[in-house]
Structure 1
C-alpha cells in the first residue's frame, strides 16, 4: 500500500508518499481499499504540530480522518459488513491519507449507491460535527433561530442544511462571494463578515454555532437571547462571558458514529442534503491540498483521490 507519511511536525510540503505493508484488521475491524479521503482543518493542525500537546502521536504517522472505499477484509467479530461493501466513515484521528486503512467497523456507514466515492469521503467528519453541534449540544428545535459562523466551509455547509431540515431560522456568515452559495443551502439570511458587523445585524438568537473562534466567538455572546447556547468546535467558550449573557457555552470533540452517519448519508442519497467538493488532488499532492485548506476560505471540502496514487 501507499501512504502519506509525516516524519516530523512542520510544513505540509515535507509530506512524503511511502510504500508500506498492508495493515491487517483486528477482530472488530475491516480493511478498506481507499478510493478517496477528505481534508479537514484538524489534519493540517496535527501535521504542523499545533495539536501535539493534546493529540500525541508516534512519528511517522499518516494523517487523515475521513475515508471512503471498499471493504476487502473483515475481522472475525465483524458481521455487519463483508468483502465488497462500499463504505464511508470518520475513521479516527489519523490514517486516511493512504490507499488502504484498517477501521473499526462501528465507525463506518454503507455508502449509498447514488454517491460517488469523492462525495462520500467529504461527508463524515463535517456532517457528524454539524449534527452533534446542533442537535446534541445545541438542542436545536423547529422554530428557533441559529447563527452559523463559517457557513460556507465543510462543517458550516452541513450545519446550514441540517438546521434548515430541523425547521430553524438560519443566519449564515461567510465572505461575500459565498452569499448565493450559503443561501442556496438553506440560510434565510446571509452576512458578509468582511462588510458587515454581525453583532449589529443580529439579536436574540437561540443558538450560535462558532466555527471561527477568537473575536468572532467573543462578539457572539451579545447576539444570544437569555437562555441561549453558544456551541464551538474550535475553542472553549468563556464561562464568565456565558454567565454575563445568561447563556450556556459548550465545546466538544466530534464522536465517530456509524449509525448516525448512515442517517446523514441517507439525507444525501435522498437529495435533502448535498456536499460541495471545491477541489480534488491526487494522494501524492496531499501537501498542496493541506496548504489550500490552511489558507482558509475553502467552499465546502477538499478531497484526495487515492486511486490516482495506486499506480503513481
Structure 2
C-alpha cells in the first residue's frame, strides 16, 4: 500500500486529508516512482478551491502534485535509459499524484538526478522548464539581449533570472518592496519596486530609451499594455499567467500602434510543449538538471513534511513564500 494527501472536496486547505491507496503498476513507456519529495504549485490550490476553468477540473477526490523526485521502483515495457533504483525527478500532468508516496509517469518526463537532494530536485521541473522554454524556445534568448521579469521573486521568476544571467542577458526584475533584496541576490542587474516606481518609465530609463528585448509576464491585466510600450524593436512579451486577470486592451489600440516595431505577443502554457514535443521536452529537462548540478540554478526552497500540506497551501495563498514550497515524503 501507499499513502497520499488528497483533496476530498472543494474548500479551504483543511479539506486535504491523508489516505491509503493501492500501488498500481506502470504501463508501456511508463515509470513507477517512489516519491521522496513533491512540490507545491498554484494549480494545486486552484483545484482545491474548485476554481479550475470549465472542463479542466479533475474529479474529486484528487491527489494533487505535478512534480516530484524519488527512486524508480518499476519500469513498463519499452522504457529506455532508466533502471530500477535510479534517483530521478519528474514532471507530470494533473493527476500525477505528487502529494503521495508513488507516481506513475511517462518516461519522457523523467530524468536522472545523480546525487542531488530529493527536496531540491522536486522544486525544479515545473519552474525551470517553464523558464527555460520561454527564454530559449519562445524568446530566442541570447547573450546581449535584455529581459524584464515580472514577479521576479516567485519560483518561475527566480529560475528566469538564473537562466537569463547564465545565457548572458541583462536582467531587469520587477518585485514588491519587501522582495527587492531577494531579487538582487538572484543576480538581477536592475530591480524595480513596482509599488513605488512606474515600471514602464524605469525600463525605458534603464535601457536608454531602447526598451527590452523580452518581457516574461505572469501578471497580465493592465501590464500587457505597458509591456508593449517598453519592448524594443523585434521584442517579444511572453504571457504565462493571469495573476491580475485577463490582459486589458485591444489589438487596434494597443498592439497595432507598435506595428513599426514588429513586436510579438506569445502565450505560454508549459503543458503545450509537454504534450506535443516529448522528446524535445526530455532533452530540455536533462539540460535544466545539468544547470542545477552546476549550481547555475539555485532554487530557494522551504520544506515541510507532507502531513503539513494544508499549511503549505495556506502559506502559498497568503503570499508568505519566496521561491518554492516542497513537501518531504517519508
TM-score by structure 1 length?
Answer: 0.92
Separation in structure 2 between the aligned mates of residue 46 and residue 169 of structure 1, nearest angstrom: 36
CA contact (8 A) 1:173 1:191 kept: yes
Residue 243 of structure 1, aligned match among 256, 274, 280: 256
Rounded to whole Å, the distance in 2 between the matches of 1:72 and 1:242 is 52
Deviation at residue 274 of structure 1 after TM alignment:
1.1
Superposed counterparts of 1:9-158, under 5 Å: 9-94=10-95, 95-113=97-115, 115-158=116-159
For structure 2, the residue ranges without an aligned partner over 5 or more in a row are 205-210, 275-280
Deviation per CA, 1:52-99, whole angstroms, max 9, x where unpaired? 415231221111111100011111221211110000011222321111
Pairwise mapping of residues 211-226 of structure 1 onto structure 2 (< 5 A)?
Answer: 211-226=218-233
What does residue 321 of structure 2 align with? Answer: 298
Cα distance between partner residues in 2 of 1:142 and 1:239:
33
State the Cα distance separating 1:28 from its structure 2 match. Answer: 1.0
Whole-angstrom distance in 2 between the partners of 1:232 and 1:280: 29
Q: Whole-Å Cα distance in 2 between the matches of residues 86 and 59 of structure 1?
A: 31
The 1:248–1:274 alpha-carbon spacing in structure 2 relative to 1, beyond 3 Å, is same
What is the alpha-carbon distance in structure 2 between the residues aligned to residue 107 and residue 243 of structure 1?
A: 39
Task: Report the Cα offset of residue 24 of structure 1.
Answer: 1.4
Match of 1:229 in 2: 236
Return the alpha-carbon distance in structure 2 between the equivalents of residues 132 and 202 of structure 1: 24
1:273 counterpart (285, 293, 297)? 297
Whole-angstrom distance in 1 between the partners of 2:225 and 2:58? 32
1:10-58 per-position Cα deviation (integer Å, ceiling 9, x unaligned)? 3222111111111211111111110001111122122222214152312
Contact 1:146 1:209 (C-alpha < 8 Å) held by counterparts: yes
1:159-308 aligned within 5 A: 159-203=160-204, 204-235=211-242, 240=251, 241-246=254-259, 247-254=263-270, 255-256=273-274, 257-277=281-301, 279-296=302-319, 298-307=321-330
Q: TM-score under structure 2 normalisation?
A: 0.88
Q: Distance in 2 between matches of 1:15 and 1:242?
A: 44
For the aligned residue pairs, the C-alpha RMSD in angstroms reads 1.7
Would you say the 8 A contact 2:174–2:194 is kept in 1?
yes
Q: Return the structure number with greater relative CO, CA threshold 8 A, min gap 6.
A: 1
Q: Is the 8 A contact 1:34 1:98 kept in 2?
A: yes
Q: 1:63 to 1:152 in 2, by over 3 A?
A: same
| C-alpha separation in 1, matches of 2:188 and 2:114 | 26
Contact 2:50/2:57 (<8 A) preserved = no
Instruction: State the number of aligned residues.
Output: 305
**Please, which moves more after superposition, 261-270 or 248-257?**
248-257
Return the alpha-carbon distance in structure 2 between the equivalents of residues 102 and 11 of structure 1. 28
* SS of equivalent to 2:4: strand
Residues 173-196 of structure 1 deviation map (CA, whole Å, 9 limit, x = unaligned): 112332232222221000112221
Q: CA deviation at 1:155?
A: 0.2
Distance in 1 (alpha carbons) for counterparts of 2:55 and 2:201: 36
Deviation at 1:137, TM superposition (A): 1.6
| SS of residue matched to 2:222 | helix
Misfit runs of 4+, over 6 Å: none
Query: Is contact 1:153-1:297 (8 Å) kept?
Result: no
**Any stretches of 5+ residues in structure 1 without a counterpart?**
308-312
